[in-house]
Amino acid sequence: MAFAVENYRTRLAALASEGVFIGTSSWKYAGWCGQIYDEQRYLTRGKFSQAKFDRSCLAEYAETFRTVCVDAGYYQFPTDKYLAGLCGDVPDGFRFAFKVTDDITIKKFPGHARFGAKAGIFNPNFLSAELFRERFLAPCEAFRDRIGPLIFEFSAFHKHEFEHGGDFVAALDAFLGNLPFSFSKRRCLSFPPNAILFVQATERYSAASGGRM
């Protein structure tokens, strides 16, 4: 059964015009050829080129969807060059969601090889508002009309990291209090104009646990 991509494009464009953005987590999926992507665009000498696809498929993705999550933001801070490349491939009105870099959200680095010398040690930059401002927000400033939600992904904390959930919330409060915009509990905050949506995921206290989480 053929995938009616044109119907989706029309419907998704209409929703985006009303401020409802629907997209996916990342976009470099060669398996979507024949559905979202036209494989013919990515042929080199008659054969599918993964490198060509990875380099240029975002433009075709943006013909259907009006937003996408940049998972790569979790693994390294965005640079001006990287952001310019992304924004140059999409039309006006497109919004990027970003995962915030793990140098901000990891309390203790796992003992994985990818962390190198940092593996197994506590992160001195955990919830560092200064680092977040300088390495994440600052590069986004020139592209803030294209930046949508920022996603703060926290792993489960162990007792030696935070004894109680309320301790984490206190650290989160301090972090948010040092950012260049206002924050209201259980509401959203904006990096003007409406560039960042942050939803508090944890209540300060849990009545069921006697005021401590």
Return the structure tokens found at 105: 């959200």
Cβ–Cβ under 8 Å, residues 68 and 21: no
Q: How far apart are CA 164 and CA 152, in angstroms?
A: 19
Residue 210 has pLDDT above 50, yes or no: no
Distance CA 86, CA 116 (A): 28
pLDDT attached to residue 70: 96
What is the DSSP pairing of strand 47-48 with strand 43-44?
antiparallel
Distance CA 156, CA 202 (A): 13
The pLDDT of 91-98, averaged and rounded, is 95
For residue 192, is the peptide bond before it cis, meaning its omega torsion is within 30 degrees of 0?
no
The predicted-structure confidence for 135-149, as pLDDT tens digits, reads as follows: 999 999 999 999 999
Mean pLDDT of 19-35: 94
CA torsion sign for 107, 110, 113, 116 is positive
What is the average pLDDT score of the chain? Answer: 84
The full set of domains in the chain, from first to last, is: 5-209 (3.20.20)
CB atoms within 10 A of CB 70: 19
Strands across the sheet containing 24-25? 24-25, 67-70, 95-99, 147-151
- What's residue 164's pLDDT? 87
Residue 119 has pLDDT above 90, yes or no: yes
Residues 189 and 200: beta-carbon distance below 8 Å: no
pTM beyond 0.85, yes or no? no
- Give the HSE-up count for residue 79: Cα atoms under 13 Å, Cβ half-sphere: 5
Q: What is the mean pLDDT of residues 51-77?
A: 96
- The secondary structure element, H or E, covering residue 81 is helix 80-88
